């Protein structure tokens, strides 16, 4: 594996770092406290092409590789994880899914607007009783000839309140189990789409997470993605790409907390010297740096496999489970290094600690990632780059 970055990758990383550190950092505490949606920051991400980074320029995207994408998410996640989850869902769950599996008409009509950020998208799989067990869909789409009638409720939907387009997973034939699940493009301006209240969350507080209700929503036949019954496989494939995005978000949280803790430890004096020079703190920093580096290698391995067109299923799950657990451990240590200051908002590390938790839960919990990895072990398909 090469560790060199191209000029484009370095330029993208530096631009994202600049946006995060110079612009997003200013209001991040206030947005987090008041659950204020980062409208201006999302506009700037759109302007910089960060919302459709990997989409073909023919559909208004940036035509960049997955390494550019993970580098950008890492930088933004050092500062504002509400922004990075908005970015991750739009790029990897919505745009990638549409580009990979949508028809030419669907791409022209929807992807061209989602890739620029003119429209934001949401991925609607989870339900009140279908989280990890994603095959237990209760949302129904009944075939009515020229359209489907969609009814059901989706939970924890990122971009729920601000998205124009939903990719909705729904059961079309209950007798077929997961093979009777399909996926639809739903325009939120259609009658029958009701957005519930914004969730008041532990972390990523300014991203808009909502329950969505669909009541007798008429979805035209041409808005189904792929064949009838393709929805579960669509969700699984899209989620494996999405997990690379969340893994890089977790990596950014860990790296951001580490950078803050390192800077603080060089300034803070105790017992006559900077705490950085005390072994108790230096060992913590060494451990944090090692785990972050390991997480980065896993994230970049998954990204490179995806760019090479190889199987990245287990690699994405490994990256997500390791990076998210690194984010949790590292942010707890960053708060500890800051002592009492770490417990107050002004020092940023307590927010990163709260944000870290969701990376172990969404787009598949750590437990689900271990199931996915173990199934690949059993199939003997762990190291696709070697075969
Ligand atoms: N690619 C293609 N097909 C796949 C696949 C993949 N990666 N994974 C599974 N499948 C196929 C299987 O081959 C099987 O098809 P056949 O029966 O036709 O052969 C079918 O899907 C069912 O697979 P399983 O038997 O493995 O299904 P399962 O019920 O055991 O569940 C699971 C598998 C991995 C646990 C899955 O349910 C899962 O990933 N759950 C977690 C869901 C999740 O990640 N939710 C996140 C919500 S979205 C979110 O958080 C977004 C946000 O807003 C931030």
Q: What is the pLDDT of residues 82-140, one digit of tens each?
A: 999 999 999 999 999 999 999 999 999 999 999 999 999 999 999 999 999 999 999 99
Q: Are residues 186 and 98 in the same domain?
A: no
Please give the number of the atom of ligand 1 that sits closest to the Cα of 232: 21
Among candidate residues 7, 30, 363, 367, the one labeled active-site is 363
Classify residue 2: in a domain, yes or no.
no
Domain of 224, CATH number, reads: 2.40.110.10
Helix, strand, coil percentages, rounded to 5, for the chain: 60, 15, 25
Among 157, 364, 376, 381, residue to substitute to test ligand 1 (most atoms within 8 Å of Cβ): 364
Domain final residue, candidates 231, 257, 289? 231
pLDDT given for residue 2 in this prediction: 52
Q: In terms of residue numbers, what domain contains 250?
A: 237-386
Domain final residue, candidates 231, 260, 282? 231
Q: Could you identify the residue written with the tokens 């896993």?
A: 298
pLDDT given for residue 381 in this prediction: 82
Q: Are residues 358 and 275 in the same domain?
A: yes
295/316 Cα distance (integer angstroms): 11
pLDDT given for residue 275 in this prediction: 98
> Do 199 and 53 meet the contact criterion of CB atoms below 8 Å apart?
no
Q: What is the mean pLDDT of each run of 10 residues along the chain (387 residues)?
A: 85 98 98 98 98 98 98 98 98 98 98 98 96 95 97 98 98 97 98 96 98 98 98 98 98 98 98 98 98 98 97 97 98 98 98 98 98 95 72
Q: Are residues 210 and 137 in the same domain?
A: yes
| CA 105 and chain centroid, separation | 26
Residue 50 dihedral angles phi and psi, to the nearest 5°? -85, 0
Q: What is the pLDDT of residues 30-88, one digit of tens each?
A: 999 999 999 999 999 999 999 999 999 999 999 999 999 999 999 999 999 999 999 99
Please give the number of the atom of ligand 1 that sits closest to the Cα of 361: 50
Q: Could you identify the residue written with the tokens 């505490």?
A: 29
Q: Are residues 267 and 365 in the same domain?
A: yes
- Report residue 182 as tokens: 């399909």
Q: Are residues 126 and 106 in the same domain?
A: no
pLDDT given for residue 386 in this prediction: 66
Domain final residue, candidates 204, 231, 258? 231
Q: Judging by DSSP bridges, how do beta strands 209-220 and 193-198 pair with one another?
A: antiparallel
Q: Could you identify the residue written with the tokens 């484009």?
A: 8
Cα of 365 vs centre of ligand 1, distance in Å, is 12
How many structural domains does the chain have? Answer: 3
Q: Are residues 212 and 273 in the same domain?
A: no
Classify residue 310: in a domain, yes or no.
yes
Strands (E), the chain: 121-124, 140-143, 147-158, 165-171, 181-187, 193-198, 209-220, 269-270, 273-274
Q: Are residues 126 and 116 in the same domain?
A: no
Respond yes or no: is residue 129 known to be catalytic. no
Q: Are residues 326 and 263 in the same domain?
A: yes
Domain of 44, CATH number, reads: 1.10.540.10
First to last CA, the chain: 15
């Amino acid at each position: 594996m090469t560790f060199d970055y191209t000029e484009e990758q370095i330029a993208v990383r530096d631009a994202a770092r600049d946006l995060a550190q110079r612009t997003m950092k200013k209001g991040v505490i206030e947005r987090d406290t008041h659950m204020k949606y980062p409208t201006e920051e999302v506009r700037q991400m759109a302007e910089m092409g960060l919302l459709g980074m990997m989409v073909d320029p023919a559909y208004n995207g940036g035509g960049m590789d997955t390494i550019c994408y993970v580098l950008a998410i890492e930088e933004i996640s050092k500062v504002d994880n509400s922004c990075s989850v908005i970015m991750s869902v739009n790029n990897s769950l919505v745009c990638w899914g549409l580009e990979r599996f949508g028809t030419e008409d669907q791409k022209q009509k929807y992807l061209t607007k989602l890739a620029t950020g003119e429209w934001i998208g949401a991925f609607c799989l989870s339900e009140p009783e279908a989280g990890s067990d994603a095959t237990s869909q209760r949302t129904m789409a009944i075939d009515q000839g020229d359209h489907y009638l969609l009814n059901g409720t989706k939970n924890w939907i990122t971009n729920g309140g601000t998205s124009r387009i939903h990719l909705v997973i729904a059961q079309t034939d209950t007798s077929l189990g997961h093979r009777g699940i399909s996926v639809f493009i739903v325009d939120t301006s259609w009658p029958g789409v009701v957005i519930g209240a914004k969730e008041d969350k532990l972390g990523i507080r300014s991203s808009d997470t909502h329950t969505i209700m669909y009541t007798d929503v008429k979805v035209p036949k041409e808005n189904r993605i792929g064949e009838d019954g393709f929805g579960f496989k669509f969700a699984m494939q899209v989620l494996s790409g999405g997990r690379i995005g969340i893994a890089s978000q977790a990596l950014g949280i860990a790296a951001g907390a580490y950078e803050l803790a390192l800077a603080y430890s060089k300034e803070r004096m105790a017992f006559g010297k900077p705490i950085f020079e005390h072994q108790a703190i230096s060992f913590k920093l060494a451990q944090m740096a090692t785990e972050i580096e390991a997480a980065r290698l896993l994230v970049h391995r998954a990204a490179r496999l995806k760019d090479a067109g190889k199987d990245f299923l287990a690699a994405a799950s490994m990256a997500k489970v390791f990076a998210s657990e690194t984010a949790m451990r590292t942010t707890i240590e960053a708060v500890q290094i800051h002592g009492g200051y770490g417990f107050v908002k002004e020092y940023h590390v307590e927010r990163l600690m709260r944000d870290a938790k969701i990376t172990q839960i969404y787009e598949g919990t750590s437990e689900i990632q271990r199931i996915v990895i173990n199934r690949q072990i059993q199939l003997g398909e762990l190291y696709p780059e070697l075969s």
